[in-house]
Structure 1
């Protein structure tokens, strides 16, 4: 066991007796002492991982690297971090067997199938690569917008940062009935789920999307007294900034704002050439990098 000191800066509202009828805010510093257990091995360490906290630490490291050495260096750091984590995880679970450096037996597990706490990390890292924070200027990201994201992401607490990096996509069978609490950010979901209404929370934007195959009798936009609007109001009240609310009717309105968040498939340009790596290809690339790292 070990002790750590936790500093919590909070604000308290106190009345000043000297100036009648007025009050001011004072900052109070609270100090907590907590006892934490020490992991006995790597498996225990992995089991205690909080993926949202890891994401927050990664984002801060990547932002610093990008500011000091450029976006390319930030992307390399992120890629190498995931490769090394995957190598260490596979070795800890004895999935890699060495004969010599040029001869090894391995069934690389890039999905962290034996550790639920690590399983979100590849998808979060992939989403970071697809985020404007780490896209190059020639990919259409203005430097001022990147600076805005650096400031925003640096200030967000882990759960909010998670939504900003990998938005939450839910579906509704009607404005008053939730169909599924969370989908992957995949265009295929729009077809396979069978749901007519999708709600995407990207922290700075809230998007309500009606599928082009939705029953035309479903009210659009949804009525203000429905379950979906209740969720929208709740999220807006919880935010430190006011998110932009967008309603899109598939097949009639421009759906680009919504579709840009569906990042898991490969994007294909007008010539039919794949222009951006999808999630499956990303995992294949990490697998190859892990094998090269082990052999080196």
Structure 2
């Protein structure tokens, strides 16, 4: 429908020449404008995030730029979360874009969420670990988690004298010292269950100790293997075949989505489920040199 043509407001000169009062002219103009507003179609509501993404042809994810092998803004390969975002976008015929956040600064994840997804810089935030603290963070910020798309945990590496070991219990029976990052969940677990430990500040130091033969066993965060493989190409350490992280030492990864965007959440849930079912996420993760675990139940 064409909008009503509204005559221009008459000036005092028009009043002098025509004898029509200015007040009456203004009233007529206002009435015409009101009728135009009623007759014209109402403006469409702001579309939801998924509709906007499809309209633009772009799906935007927030990721930590300094968190390799999860995600990195200046490395190739760029991190498994970046590749998973690309795969999600490609399935829908969209292009993937990234907004780089930093969870390692003061304020941690909470600040990263406030300065990125809560400011509308992206559609969703990748690489969020499930757990009670996360649940509280999501509730506080009116965010919700997608279905989990990957399981991570502390894994057991062996070499040398215990190269053929098949379980953590076997190392305990042989009183083997296990390289452990201090003040971490795995440190507490081994201490509480009576295992011998060799404590180190960081996983990288543990991997170096393994490579130099200082220790023959270690428990490390599984993604740390991506860096260790590159740092120690001639290392003889390996993961115990079929090893699954112990309960309490394993977590799932999901993505955070605004609570007001159920359509986007459903889209991501369906996309991630399909990528898991087709084995695509497993292929991506294993290219980084650490074990793939489907989400833990």
* RCO higher in structure (CA 8 A, sep ≥6): 2
TM-score (norm 1): 0.23
Judging by fraction of residues, say which structure has more strand: 1
TM-score (norm 2): 0.23
The structure that has the greater radius of gyration is 2
